[in-house]
């Protein structure tokens, strides 16, 4: 069971491992120091801490711990062993691939649209399709989504219409946000997808608050909150983790660790073992997954959701992936990373890995792939053309939905 991979119970498992690894470190071949364990039944225990005493002075750092392992299923086409309780119909297997392809094609079309001056801004999801689609397929429509700005695939899985993506990016009068949001700042009350905010990390404490509300109302649902590893460097992330852990809120934190926070590499962001290492420190069961393996992401998220609702506690998933595109249309990523690095990852895309698997099982083929891509491209281009023809919102919409009773000077 994947449940065994999670840090299931921080007090029982995580701290025992720390003690074991610390003992091993003290007896390491590079030192002759030994632990002198001091146990006194009369000593009061420190509140909230499980520990042992030693008379040896020793500082510990990340070198004393094994790095968090990365869970994956698609090791290679010839070595794919699905877990025994992994149950998906052929229809869902194919739907996952189709949504990944649709997201990829939509990205390319809208990116080119911005370059042609037809829309003002865009952010692609290229290289991160598996993290979005895999996790979205594992949760319920009743679960509330708090996204950052690279989760269009989650909405796509929830059947958000292509035309609505286009209307939002063009900011026309059919845009549900009435042209008052930047492109790619989607939202849908119907699909339980909270409108995206531009400021970094604001969604994390908000998501925990919503999860706490679900707990209070005893809802059979959870909150799924997406964020990048760069957002985890903000203070709001630490507050949210602690808030969720201490109040035992039903929330799944999904970190997209794609290597870069705009132009800042992870090598410059933190010195610890990624984001996953932070989970147990806050008392949050945690797993690190191969974010380019859509089946691994699906299985980890599905298990996390079941445990999250059953136990009423937060879970953290760090999905290791790579951002193949620029951060946005305002960015030139070749200024801070080499083309060789990008090309290397281009040979290991989530879509190609999953397609190889589907073909090995007989669920997909070249002809079907060509026909599907052509159909999707035509439908997206048609929607784009329709959205482009629509009028902009009326200027009066600037103040609607802002005030319950509009002030006199605004009227």
pLDDT digits (tens, 9 = 90+) for 116-148: 999 999 999 999 999 999 999 999 999 999 999
| pLDDT at residue 8 in the model | 47
The CATH number given to 70-333+344-392 is 3.40.50.970
Give the Cα separation of 243 and 372 in Å (integer).
45
| pLDDT at residue 400 in the model | 85
User: Is residue 15 predicted with pLDDT exceeding 50?
Assistant: no
pLDDT band at 3 (very low <50, low <70, confident <90, very high): low
Query: Closest by alpha carbon to 336, among 261, 232, 241, 233?
Result: 261
Give the Cα separation of 363 and 321 in Å (integer).
25
For the question of residue 135 being annotated catalytic, the response is no
For the question of residue 112 being annotated catalytic, the response is yes
Of the listed 198, 263, 265, 360, which one is catalytic?
Answer: 198
Of the listed 3, 56, 90, 112, which one is catalytic?
Answer: 112
Of the listed 177, 318, 327, 333, which one is catalytic?
Answer: 327
β-bridge partners, 70:
288
The residue whose two tokens read 């909270």 is 194
pLDDT band at 37 (very low <50, low <70, confident <90, very high): low
| pLDDT at residue 102 in the model | 98
pLDDT band at 12 (very low <50, low <70, confident <90, very high): very low
Give the Cα separation of 195 and 214 in Å (integer).
19
Rounded to an integer, the average pLDDT of 8-20 is 43
User: Is residue 206 predicted with pLDDT exceeding 80?
Assistant: yes
For the question of residue 344 being annotated catalytic, the response is no
Residue 175 in tokens: 């845009």
Of the listed 25, 135, 328, 333, which one is catalytic?
Answer: 328
For the question of residue 198 being annotated catalytic, the response is yes
Average pLDDT along the chain: 91
22 or 262, which is more confident?
Answer: 262
Q: Give the number of other Cβ atoms within 10 Å of residue 389's Cβ.
A: 9
| pLDDT at residue 25 in the model | 40
Query: Closest by alpha carbon to 305, among 257, 254, 359, 360?
Result: 254
Q: Give per-residue pLDDT as tens, 311-359.
A: 999 999 999 999 999 999 999 999 999 999 999 999 999 999 999 999 9
**Residue 186: exposure state from Cβ atoms within 10 A (0-12, 13-18, ≥19):** buried
Q: Give per-residue pLDDT as tens, 41-67.
A: 677 888 888 888 889 998 988 888 899
Q: Give per-residue pLDDT as tens, 247-279.
A: 999 999 999 999 999 999 999 999 999 999 999
User: Is residue 4 predicted with pLDDT exceeding 90?
Assistant: no
**% the chain with pLDDT above 70:** 90
Rounded to an integer, the average pLDDT of 189-206 is 96
């Amino acid at each position: 069971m994947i449940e065994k991979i999670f840090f299931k119970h921080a007090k029982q498992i995580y701290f025992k491992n720390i003690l074991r690894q610390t003992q091993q470190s003290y007896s390491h071949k590079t030192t002759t120091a030994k632990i002198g364990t001091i146990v006194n039944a009369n000593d009061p225990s420190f509140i909230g801490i499980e520990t042992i005493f030693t008379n040896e002075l020793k500082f510990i750092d990340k070198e004393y711990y094994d790095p968090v392992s990365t869970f994956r299923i698609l090791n290679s086409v010839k070595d794919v062993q699905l877990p025994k309780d992994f149950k998906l119909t052929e229809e869902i297997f194919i739907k996952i691939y189709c949504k990944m392809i649709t997201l990829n094609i939509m990205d390319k079309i809208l990116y080119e649209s911005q370059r042609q001056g037809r829309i003002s801004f865009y952010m692609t999801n290229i290289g991160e399709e598996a993290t979005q689609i895999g996790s979205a397929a594992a949760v319920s429509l009743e679960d509330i989504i708090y996204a950052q700005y690279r989760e269009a695939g989650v909405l796509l899985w929830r059947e958000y219409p292509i035309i609505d993506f286009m209307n939002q990016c063009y900011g026309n009068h059919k845009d549900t946000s009435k042209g008052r949001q930047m492109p790619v700042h989607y939202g849908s009350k119907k699909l339980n997808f909270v409108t995206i905010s531009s400021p970094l990390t604001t969604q994390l404490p908000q998501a925990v608050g919503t999860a706490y509300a679900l707990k209070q109302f005893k809802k059979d649902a959870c909150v799924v909150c997406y964020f990048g590893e760069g957002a985890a460097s903000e203070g709001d992330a630490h507050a949210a983790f602690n808030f969720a852990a201490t109040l035992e809120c039903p929330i799944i934190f999904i970190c997209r660790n794609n290597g870069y926070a705009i132009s800042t590499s992870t090598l410059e962001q933190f010195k610890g073992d990624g984001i996953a290492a932070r989970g147990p420190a806050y008392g949050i069961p945690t797993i690190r997954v191969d974010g380019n393996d859509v089946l691994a992401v699906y299985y980890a998220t599905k298990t996390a959701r079941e445990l999250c609702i059953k136990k009423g506690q937060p879970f953290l998933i760090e999905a290791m992936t790579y951002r193949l595109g620029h951060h946005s249309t305002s960015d030139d990523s070749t200024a801070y990373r080499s083309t060789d690095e990008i090309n290397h990852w281009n040979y290991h895309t989530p879509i190609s890995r999953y397609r190889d698997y589907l073909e090995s099982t007989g669920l997909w083929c070249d002809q079907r792939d060509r026909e599907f891509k052509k159909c999707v491209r035509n439908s997206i281009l048609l929607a784009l053309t329709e959205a482009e023809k629509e009028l902009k919102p009326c200027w009066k919409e600037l103040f609607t939905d802002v005030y319950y009773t509009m002030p006199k000077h605004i009227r």
